[in-house]
Structure 1
Amino acid sequence: MKIMPLTQEHLNKVSILIFKDIFQHSFPSTLIAKYEEFAREANLTKELANPNTIAFVSVYDKEVLGFIFGYKDLERITVIRYLSGNPESKPLLLDRFIKEAKKDFPISIKTDAFQFMANKNLLTDIGFKLKRGNEYANVESLSYELNLSYSKA
């Protein structure tokens, strides 16, 4: 299995993986709609063109097994928007994402939204901590966050 930067040639398979993911779970329709929009290949193309995007795929024998997609925020925070794949590829994707993100010296890496409950064991094993976010009309947002430290070389 190879971990490589996500490119245009992988977007169709990534789109299919996202659609499989969102319809496998019983999420509220508003969240499904949000990720359906994100999953469309045309929108993924726009996201990939953003210079702040950090994205990788795991590939074996030309088959996309998983991917991680996120971006650098202006506030020295890196956000993981989506992580999906088989159990063998997810830790490798996450490790590669963290290494790439650290090149810009962010203070933390956060997860975005609901789908990270499926990855909570992986995230906590690496050191991510559950964080409470904003409250909206009887709903409290939660995310995972990894605070980063750097040693002086």
Structure 2
Amino acid sequence: MSISDFTPSATPPLTPETAAPIRPAQQPQLLGTRSCARLSVDTDRRAAERCSAFARTVLGPFLGDHPDPGPLVDNVVAVITELVDVASRTTRRSTIVCVVEFDGSHFMVSVEEIHGRLPHPQDEPGLYLVHRVADEVGQHLGDHGGTVIWASVPV
């Protein structure tokens, strides 16, 4: 379940002037990736639910003996839920791919591929949560002509 109908009032809105353009150079660089998981799902109304359940099974082992993984796992799952929700409604493909990478200090979540640009939070209010939890959110051109959306969540 996404929170696309919730808009926090304390978060300033993004405008077309402040949004970053799509450029291949914006592709995130994860040096020293320790763990990576990838899931391909059909683009139906349960895509976010399936990706979130998948993420819960892999995030704990990625964190190992982290002292309190619960809130961090919840944050990463919330980011995945919102990004997959956006992708499943805006893609022209029959499947989307969710990738979760962990380098020891950040979780990098990417979802392939949406049609067009990453929407603004005013249009997709669930993205307010993504921008609040992640230290970076971006997009880059994908391999199949669409846009890959990604977020980096610090540990």
Asked if these proteins are the same fold (TM beyond 0.5), I'd say: no
Give the structure, 1 or 2, with the largest relative contact order (CA under 8 Å, sep 6 or more): 2
TM-score (norm 1): 0.30
Higher-Rg member (1/2): 1
TM-score (norm 2): 0.29
Q: Which has the higher helix share?
A: 1
